[in-house]
Structure 1
Amino acid sequence: MMDSSPHKLYHVHGFDSRQCLEDYFSDKPDMAFGDDLLNFLIDNLSQVFTVGHINGDILVDLSLGSIIHHLYSASEFFKNIIVLKVNNRCIMELKRWVDERTGAFYWGHTSALLQQKEGNSGQFEDKEGKLRSTIQHVVKCDLEKENMTEPLVLPPADCVISALLLDVISKDQDDYIRYLRKFSKLLKPGGHLILFGGFGATYFTVGKDKFHAFAYDEDFIRKTVVGEGFIIDYCKIKERTAVSDLIDYKTVIIISAHKEK
């Protein structure tokens, strides 16, 4: 069946990962998404890991673009982080930061924000260094393969986190459920799933390109997570405050759940 959407697909048509970071996650004065995509996620993830006692050896991250700010808290609770990416440009951008190479995107504003919230302002370099050392592997994946990292076989993860990726790779409800099922297969029994996304979005813009986004609501994501064998432990929703036509989401949500053994 051919895709009838007039917009490009994130994982099919190429994607400027650096432009995405500049538009949605930077410290530029005109960057409108600080409260929704930076503060909200950092605040809630810190609480999710601490209060939920989520920890272990391996966390697998499947998230949009080359973002890393959602992994600061994770690096305090997991020995190893394995990052999966569908796009070579995203891999190159992320590795540039991990390897501290010239021209890497500046994430100091987010690590400093977390340190400030924890009462340790001024130590953001320690936070970034911890995360760099915890990201053990950045791996190319194919979302359509049964084993997404073929020929590599990943060890079962204690936690899978996915920020905004399901929103942009899913064409419809069936797609969302299918991809979530694949993600959840990376978990060991009793493992934890953390999802971050936005309700009601139909597109997002990067540079001159407009990409597809899947519009869903709270009822759908709750039913889908439970339907895949998870028990929801935490859910927080925030109304949009960003004023921008780059993307048309209405609210953002974070859900943490554990897989029934």
Structure 2
Amino acid sequence: MADSNSKATEEQSVAEYYTQEFKPREYLDKHFSAFKGEDDKECVQLFIMDHLHQTFGSGIFQGKRLLDIGTGPSVLSVLSASKYFPDITCSDYLPVCREELQKWVDGDPEAFDWGAYFRYISKLEGNSSSPDEIAARLRKAIKSVVHCDVKQSNPLCTESVDPFDVVVSSFCLELACDSPDQYRAGVGNMASLVKPGGGLVLLGDFKNNIIVETEKFADFELNEAFLRDALVSHGCTDIEIKQVSMVDEWPCEFFYATARKI
């Protein structure tokens, strides 16, 4: 899901609007500053962190190299992964998002403060690592923050890339894709970066809600059958899909999908 303080014009697509006008720090300040940990009962941040913690802690996907596609300016999708994967590549389409994330990686004092999230992850991990230790291990694990485009057959837009042990993407395809066909192709583009036997983890919203100021854009909705078929058609097996109904700015049908590349 995505949001901003400005309103897209009728002439702009939502994707064009974000490319031209999205302000990542304003987005973080608005949606991430008031996090209260487990007291936030219906909170997309908890949905992301809890599910990823369970997946990586279970050991179903192992290895060294993990790619996060559409990281945005946030570290949520790689917090738990940093305990198990020492080589993490973060990626995003927008330069401003990559710059905001890189500020935190570089230890810039003006970067967003993720302390509340490190404290929450520390509790999930049984306080085996302190919040400061989690921040340090995450900075060490993130090896690069690079450009990506999920509409390209190789989302990293390089001539060649070694496949990853795990690829993760959270609420990225909803923003980038304008149709079910584009979404299906995007799933395939991501899956192409997973090595045989590796894992693909997708988080999203079946209602495909994109929030701009107080208006909701949802050109098409998805469902479990569509997502499962897209994963199978792109060489995935052992597919598990969980759904959680939640009211954020609008009613949402969040999903959490894991699959193994054949």
TM-score interval (norm. to shorter): 0.7 to 0.9
The root-mean-square deviation of aligned C-alpha atoms, in Å, is 2.7
Partner of 1:229: 235
- Secondary structure of the structure 2 residue equivalent to 1:9: helix
Deviations 1:161-217 (A, max 9, x none): 000001111111100011111111111111100000112134212x68976675322
Partner of 1:220: 226
What TM-score, normalized by structure 1, do the two folds share? 0.85
Structure 1 residues 1-261: aligned runs within 5 Å = 7-9=13-15, 12-27=19-34, 35-120=42-127, 123-151=130-158, 153-205=160-212, 214-242=220-248, 244=249, 248-260=250-262
Aligned-pair distance for 1:84? 1.4
Aligned-pair distance for 1:138? 0.7
Deviations 1:118-161 (A, max 9, x none): 22188111111111100001111344444333446322100100
Q: Distance in 1 between matches of 2:139 and 2:59?
A: 24
Q: What percent identity do the matched residue pairs reach?
A: 28
CA contact (8 A) 1:61 1:81 kept: yes
Aligned-pair distance for 1:7? 4.4
Aligned-pair distance for 1:255? 0.8
CA contact (8 A) 2:35 2:116 kept: no
| Bigger mean CA offset, 116-125 vs 58-67 | 116-125
Q: Which amino acid aligns with 2:174?
A: D
Change (3 A) 1:219 1:33: farther
- Secondary structure of the structure 1 residue equivalent to 2:167: strand
- Secondary structure of the structure 2 residue equivalent to 1:66: coil
Aligned-pair distance for 1:66? 1.3
Aligned-pair distance for 1:81? 0.4
CA contact (8 A) 1:25 1:37 kept: no
Change (3 A) 1:38 1:150: closer
Aligned residue-pair number: 250
CA contact (8 A) 2:191 2:200 kept: yes
Change (3 A) 1:241 1:150: closer
Q: Distance in 2 between matches of 1:240 and 1:136?
A: 34
Q: Distance in 2 between matches of 1:124 and 1:45?
A: 17
Change (3 A) 1:142 1:40: closer
Change (3 A) 1:198 1:151: closer
Q: Distance in 2 between matches of 1:13 and 1:212?
A: 20
Q: Which amino acid aligns with 2:229?
A: K
CA contact (8 A) 2:150 2:176 kept: no
Q: Distance in 2 between matches of 1:41 and 1:231?
A: 22
CA contact (8 A) 1:196 1:255 kept: yes
Deviations 1:83-135 (A, max 9, x none): 11110000110001111102111111111111112221881111111111000
| Bigger mean CA offset, 48-57 vs 118-127 | 118-127
Q: After the TM superposition, which parts of structure 1 deviate over 4 Å for at least 4 consecutive aligned residues?
A: 4-7, 207-214
| Bigger mean CA offset, 220-229 vs 155-164 | 220-229
- Secondary structure of the structure 2 residue equivalent to 1:35: coil
Q: Which amino acid aligns with 1:17?
A: P
- Secondary structure of the structure 1 residue equivalent to 2:146: strand
Deviations 1:18-76 (A, max 9, x none): 222223333267xx987331112211111111224312121010125212112111111
- Secondary structure of the structure 1 residue equivalent to 2:65: strand
| Bigger mean CA offset, 132-141 vs 118-127 | 118-127
